[in-house]
Structure 1
Amino acid sequence: MKRPYNFSAGPAAIPAEVLEQAAAEMLDWHGCGMGVMEMSHRGKEFISIYEQAEADLRELLAVPPAFKILFMQGGGLAENAIVPMNLSRAGTVDMIVTGSWSQKSRKEAQKYAAEVRTAASGEDSHFTTLPAPQTWQLSRGASYVHLCSNETIHGVEFQELPDLRALGSDAPLVIDFSSHVASRPVDWSRVGVAFGGAQKNLGPAGLTLVVVREDLLGHALPICPSAFDYRVVAENQSMFNTPPTWGIYMAGLTFQWLKRQREGDATGVAAMERRNIAKARLLYDTIDQSQFYVNKVTANCRSRMNIPFFLRDESRNDAFLAGAKARGLLQLKGHKSVGGMRASLYNAMPIEGVQALVDYMQEFERQHA
């Protein structure tokens, strides 16, 4: 069966191979007589699923031994509270505000930190560019610096993580990598904590990944619930409370799928990065060469994962979306806060899907220009 191409920003497309394997194992996982959703999280069957998923993720993202991998719940929005409860030490937090998600992070952190400072912001450009790290006004003695390394709504992405030490800050860098995790390598030498919901690039909604440097454990505020205390979660191998077992299983299948991916001599995340660069270039080139569509983001800040674009004549938006749906191109409507269109090109989106979108965009332009 030929499936439509799903450009949803999240929950998002999952590789067909992963869905097919999950369907085949739904009633009986590996002959144990139970489906994964029915298993005890402390039974040997699920423990093996969890251990393999953690090992595969560590390999895929090249996570160093000095970091703990936590499987949690609550999504990126909950982490906006969980991070300051674990790291703020009731002190100062520096925020790099580059779009809607980092705005939410700033607002939530104000409930837990003594002071939340906006060290840099792209608000003046309506979040169409990123503030250069050399211009950031970082605090002396900040508990951490927070940035969203890819903004899903506004479509801006850091092509390189900042080196805070080179900028004169000893604070750990916290990144929300929800919408581009596993799409490109992470420079862990510059990161203290990385977190992200799985529902964009790694599986279904319900699972949250946290990768935290060990020296940052054990500093939670007294008000932090035990289930959200990184130290407690780490000491209990993510099983202080019942974890999102199905989400971990589905993410584990996705990790295995990612490990099988190959582009030339590259495998895994390196292969996905090559593929994602090609997909994004195909769509951006189509937009930039058109007089009918426009992307407003500065070229060197553009996201590979989330590409917002606008019809110059927005009265044609409904017709564009209806035609796209008729051709099996789904979930292209932009976020309600910014309007327009948005194509999310996560790992599960094949280049054939992007080509189908480009062909439709060019056809629509010919018919309506």
Structure 2
Amino acid sequence: MDKIRFIHCADLHLDSPFVGLKHLPAELFERIQNSTFAAFEKLVKEAIRRQVDFMVISGDLFDEEDRSIRAQAKLVNQFNLLGEEGIPVYVIHGNHDHLGGFRLELDMPENVLIFDKETEVKELVTKSGALVKLAGFSYGTRHIRERRISEYPKQIEADYVIGLLHGSEGSVHSTHESYAPFSINELKEKNYHYWALGHIHQRQVLHQEPPIVYPGNIQGRHRKETGEKGCYLVELSQQDAVLEFIPTQDIIWGKVVVSLEGVERFGEVFQLIEKAAEEFEVNGDCLLQVDLIDFKDLNSDMIHAIDNGDLLQALQADLPAGETIKWVHSIKLSRFEHVDIDVKDPFITDVIHTLRNMNVLEGKEALVELYEHPSLYRYIDSLKEDELSQLVEETVDLILHPSRSQ
């Protein structure tokens, strides 16, 4: 039986708002705003160059349920390019771009096949004659908490069977909400040749035979989505599967950690950050977050200059430009290592004790009004343990040193 070759991508998040970056230079901010589109254009060019049999998109094509006409028009344009090459595209919608969202919708080209909210099987015969069947469903509403994997049929008769699923595997630690949960064993029991997953933005191969794969998103959207982003080129035969990761990101988010052990002068801090940025190895242009540690020798004026953004402003003004852009977008004093401080007020002592003993679930409960706010929920990712620790220590620092927030 002939091999098949296809692109598996997910979580395009076209038209992502990139909240909190408007302080960047206008030219750089405009590029970041367009980076999800640029990433998808790269992906489509790769699909055409490699003449794949088809493309699979496993949910969240758009960042918002009320998708813009601009985002849809750009997407349709790329789909048309694939259609001209005879490349069909199989699409499921996820929680961000569910079918129930209010929108003015553009008609999709004939080569784009979208799964309904009920699980269904679509069929394709490749140019070489291989019969491929694809099973999946689109989200009808934003929140699908129930398990949907039981709806996927077993023992589908075809040369190759591919499952599309936008959801959460139970053992995967993630900042994303748990939607349409499943287990690896539940997927294996279906006897499919490949599982094309979406929803988790960190690429992961959960299982080798058959491949159960999260490709991650195609472009990092904020400082927590670091490193290369892209899609997988998948080549399936009856004997094995070969996966090739293809980077598509237009801009990479990175992080460097700078130790200030023994540093007392502002100029030294400046030079150490410049050196760390210069030595940061990256394939392409990047936005850098700088985490400063071991800063106990800094005086309060220098700490204030870092907290209020004076150091960042100076660095952005003088950071030399090279062939590769390395723009420092934020500088943070890492206050993870808290020390016991003698606090006489028993109320403050109790508050700090409560904060430092808070687990992730309690943290989510404390922020539930933000997560469920109709205008804010789409901009907030779920807390994970290290992020909660940072938030707690920043809060404790403000309680103990309120002048730093001025």
What is the TM-score with the length of structure 2 in the denominator?
Answer: 0.33
Greater strand fraction, Structure 1 or Structure 2: 2
Q: More helix per residue: 1 or 2?
A: 1
Larger RCO: 1 or 2 (CA < 8 Å, sep 6+): 1
